Structure 1
Amino acid sequence: MAPVKWGILGAAKIGLERVIPGMLKGSNVEVAAIASRELGKAEAAAARLGIPKAYGSYEELLADPEIEAVYNPLPNNLHVAWTLRAARAGKHVLCEKPMAMDAEDARALRACPPDRLVMEAFMVRFHPQWIRAREIVRSGRLGEVRALQMLFAYNNPDPDNIRNRLETGGGALMDIGCYAMVGARTLLEADPVRVIALIDRDPVFGTDRLSSAIMDFGGGRHLTFAVSTQAARFQRFQVLGTDARLEIVVPVNAPQGEATRLLLDDGSAVDGSGAVAETIPPCDQYTLQAEAFGRAIRGEETLPWGIEDSILNMRILDALFRSEKSGRWEAP
C-alpha cells in the first residue's frame, strides 16, 4: 500500500533528533510536512531532515489535505488541544507522552472522531527487547514474578528547559516515571490496584525532581521505582521472579539502529556474575512505532492502545500525585 503521509507539529528536540529520523527510515512512512509557529524554524527543520513542506502555523498543516497522520510532540499542556484539533481535521494522531496534564484533560479526547486513530507515543512498546521480555515473563522462565524495579535519571537543572516548568507538565513523574508504569503494565499485562509515592520538589521550579513510588499490581506483585531530573544519568529495568531475574539494560533510550541486551540471571552468583546475555538485533524503536501506526491506518492490523489506555495512564499518574499530598495509598 502507499506510504502514510505524515505532518509534524512543532520543531521539538525529541522530534528533530530522535523520532523524525526514525520515522524517515520507515517502509510505509512519508514525512511530508512540518509546522512551527515560526516559519523559519520549520524551514530549517525541513531542510535539515529533507522534509518537502514547511508551514508557519499548525493550522496550515492541519488544513493540508495530503496529510493523513500527525505526530504531536508539543509541550504536554498542548497535547490534548492539538490532538483533538488534528483528529477533527481528519488526521490520525500519534501524540508524545504523557498524553495529557491529568485524567480529566485526557478524557476530552473521547470527543475525537471514532474513525481517527489516536495513540500515545510510548515507543518502548514496539521495541523487540520489551516484546522479548514479555515473552520471557509469559513463558514462566522467571517463575512467579514478585518484583519489578526501575531506576531512571538524568541531570537537567536548566530553568529554561520545558521539563522544569510546572505549568507545562514538567517534572520527573510526567517525563520519565511514566515509563516505569507502562513497562510494568506491559510485562505483567495488568494494571495497578493502588499506588503510593514519595516526592521531592525543586524549591524554585516546583516540579518533582525526585519521585519514588510503589505500585501494587495484586497477587503479590510490586513495581518500585525512583526517577529523577537532577541526578546522575542512568536507567535500568529489572524483573525478579521466584526462579530467575531479568534485566533490560537500556530500557528506554535504546540506541537507535544498534543491538540491545537482556540479562537472565538464575541467582547462582549473588553478585549477578552468572547472568547470561541475550542480544536483541539492531533496530530503531521510533521506526517500528511509526510503521505499526501506519499499518493500523491502512487497516493491516489493530493497535491495542488508544485513548482509553492513555486515560488510564493519566489516572495512575494522578493517583501518585494525590498520594504525595495524602501520604497514603491511592487507587487509580
Structure 2
Amino acid sequence: MQAQPKTVWGVLSTANIAVKQVIPAMQKSNKLVVGAIASRNADHASEVAGILGVGKAYGSYDALLADPKIDIIYNPLPNHLHVPWTLKALEAGKHVLCEKPIALSADDAAKLTEVSRRTGKKVREAFMVRHHPQWIRVRELVRNGSLGRIGAVHASFCYENHDPLNVRNRLDIGGGALNDVGCYAVAMGRDIFGCEPEKVVVLMDRDPEFGTDRLTSAIIAFPEGRRLVFSCATQLVRSQDVQIIGTRGRVSFAVPFNQAPDQTARLMIDDGTFVKGSALLVEEFEPVDQYMLQAEDFANLCIGLGQEGPDLEDAICNMHVMDALRMSEESQGWVTVKPD
C-alpha cells in the first residue's frame, strides 16, 4: 500500500497561538510536516524555528509564500490581517487554514470566495473544537434525538487580559471579546441547531481605555423559538461552559473549548429526572490534541482524501451573525441576521 503523502505547511508569523499550541500539535502528526515559519524579523524567525525544530525560517511573509515546497499556509496573524494574507496565499497557490474569526465582516470574508474558486485552493476557518471527539459525540447525541428537541444552548467563555499592547485589546486591529472568543459560541450554536439564526440582540461593556468589548452578552434567536444565550469576556476570571438543553435531556462539558491535549475530556449527560443531577451519566474521552486533528483533517481535504466540512460559506454565515451583533450594539435593539 502506498504511503499517504505528507503535506508541507508554512506558518505565517510567530504568533503565540502558533508557537505555543498549533505548531507543537502539528509536529505530533505523521501525516504532515511544518516546513517553514516566517516573521517580519529574520533573526526572530530563525530563533523560533531553531527552538521548535522547523527547517526553514523567513524574514518576510512574502518569502514564505514564494517557497514552492509549501503546500498549506497556517495564518494566525492578527484579525485585521486574516483576509489580506489569506488572499495573498491563495494567489501564491497555497491552501490556507486561517485562524478565527476569518474576517472582520461578512463582506470582508466574501472576498475570499472568488479567489479560492479561481485558484482551486481550499480555505478553512480554524475552529479546532469541531474536531475534538467530545464535540463529535455531542453532534451525534443531537442528531440522533437522544436529547429530544434542542431548545436552548447556554455558553460562556471568559479570560483576564489587561495588557494594552496585546492584540486582543486593540480595537484598531479587531480585538475584543466577541471576535476573540464569542465567535466560538456563535459557530457552535449554529452547528448544534443545524440552521441559521433569525435575529440577535446584544449588550456590550467596553473598556474605557482600549475601546474593545470586555464583556459581551447576547441572545441569538433561531427558528421555532430556539435560543443561543452566551457571554464572553476579556476581563473576568478564566472560565468556560457550554450546556445544551433539549426536551429529553441535557449535556454539558467539563472543558468545551480549550480542552488540554494531555487530559481526559468529560461530557455530563442528564435526563432531568433529578434537578441536582443524581442521574448524571459521564462520558470520558481519551486525551487528544484537537489542533493536530484539525490540521490532519484539513491536510486530507487539500490532497483529496478528506470529506468536505465547514467551508467558506459557513465562515461567511458566521460573520453575518457577528455583523448583526455589532449592529445590535449600535441600534440597542434586535437586529435581523442577513440571509444567505
Q: Report the TM range for the smaller structure's normalisation.
A: over 0.9
Deviation per CA, 1:254-296, whole angstroms, max 9, x where unpaired? Answer: 1013320000012233223432210012111011000001111
Q: CA deviation at 1:41?
A: 1.6
Asked if the contact 1:84–1:111 (Cα under 8 Å) also holds between the matched residues in 2, the reply is no
Superposition deviation, residue 124 in structure 1:
0.7
CA distance change for structure 1 residues 235 and 113 in 2, over 3 Å: closer, same or farther?
Answer: closer
Map of 2:107 onto structure 1: 104
Aligned to 2:302: 297
Which residue does 1:276 correspond to in 2? 281
Q: Tell me if the contact between 2:201 and 2:220 (Cα under 8 Å) persists in the aligned partners.
A: yes
CA distance, structure 1, for counterparts of residue 191 and residue 49 of structure 2: 35
Contact 1:27 1:291 in 2 (8 A): no
Structure 1 gap ranges (5+): none
Tell me the distance in 2 between the aligned counterparts of 1:267 and 1:41.
55
Structure 2 counterpart of 1:283, which letter?
V
* More displaced stretch, 313-322 vs 297-306: 297-306
Q: Which residue of 1 aligns with 2:143?
A: 138
SS at match of 1:258: coil
Asked if 1:53 corresponds to 2:53, the answer is no
Give the counterpart of 1:64 among 67, 70, 88: 67
Q: Which residue of 1 aligns with 2:47?
A: 44
Residues 43-98 of structure 1 show CA distances to partners (whole Å, capped at 9, x for unaligned) of: 11111111000000001100000000000000000000000000000000000000
Asked if the contact 1:5–1:69 (Cα under 8 Å) also holds between the matched residues in 2, the reply is yes
Counterpart mapping for 1:197-276 below 5 A: 197-276=202-281
Q: Distance in 1 between matches of 2:45 and 2:160?
A: 29
Gaps of 5+ in 2: none
Alpha-carbon separation, structure 2, partners of 1:189 and 1:127: 18
Between the aligned partners of 2:285 and 2:195, the Cα distance in structure 1 is 25
Distance 1:273 1:331 in 2: 41
Alpha-carbon distance change, 273 to 203 in structure 1, aligned in 2, over 3 angstroms: farther
> How many angstroms apart in 2 are the aligned matches of 1:110 and 1:140?
35
1:104, CA displacement in angstroms? 1.8
**Are 1:95 and 2:98 an aligned pair?**
yes
More deviation, 16-25/103-112: 103-112
The residue number in structure 1 matching 2:32 is: 29
Give, in whole Å, the separation in 2 of the partners of 1:211 and 1:144: 27
What one-letter code is carried by the residue in structure 1 that aligns with 2:83? V
Deviations 1:85-126 (A, max 9, x none): 000000000000000111121121123242100010011111
Shift of 1:30: 0.5
SS at match of 2:223: coil
CA distance in 1, matches of 2:163, 2:151: 38
Asked if the contact 1:293–1:303 (Cα under 8 Å) also holds between the matched residues in 2, the reply is no
Partner residue of 1:191? 196
Match of 2:77 among 74, 80, 83: 74
Runs (4 or more) in structure 1 with deviation over 6 Å come to none
- The number of equivalent residue pairs is 332
Q: How far apart are 1:216 and its partner, in Å?
A: 0.9
The aligned counterpart of 1:149 is: 154
> Quick check: 213-222 or 90-99, which moved more?
213-222
Query: Counterpart in 2 of 1:20?
Result: 23
Partner of 2:177: 172
Give percent identity, aligned residues only.
50
CA distance in 2, matches of 1:273, 1:229: 34
Range with bigger deviation, 83-92 or 138-147? 138-147
Task: Supply the RMSD in Å over aligned alpha carbons.
Answer: 1.1
Q: Which amino acid in 2 is paired with 1:211?
A: T
- Please report how far the alpha carbon of residue 10 of structure 1 lies from its aligned counterpart in structure 2 after TM superposition: 0.2
TM superposition score normalised by structure 1: 0.98
Amino acid at match of 1:205: F
The whole-number CA distance in structure 2 between the counterparts of 1:293 and 1:257 is 22
- State the TM-score, normalizing by the size of structure 2: 0.95
Pairing 1:321-332 to 2, within 5 Å after superposition = 321-332=326-337
Counterpart of 2:221 in structure 1: which amino acid? Answer: D
2:14 aligned with 1:11: yes
1:272 alignment partner AA: G
Q: Is the 8 A contact 2:116 2:123 kept in 1?
A: no
CA distance in 2, matches of 1:135, 1:302: 17
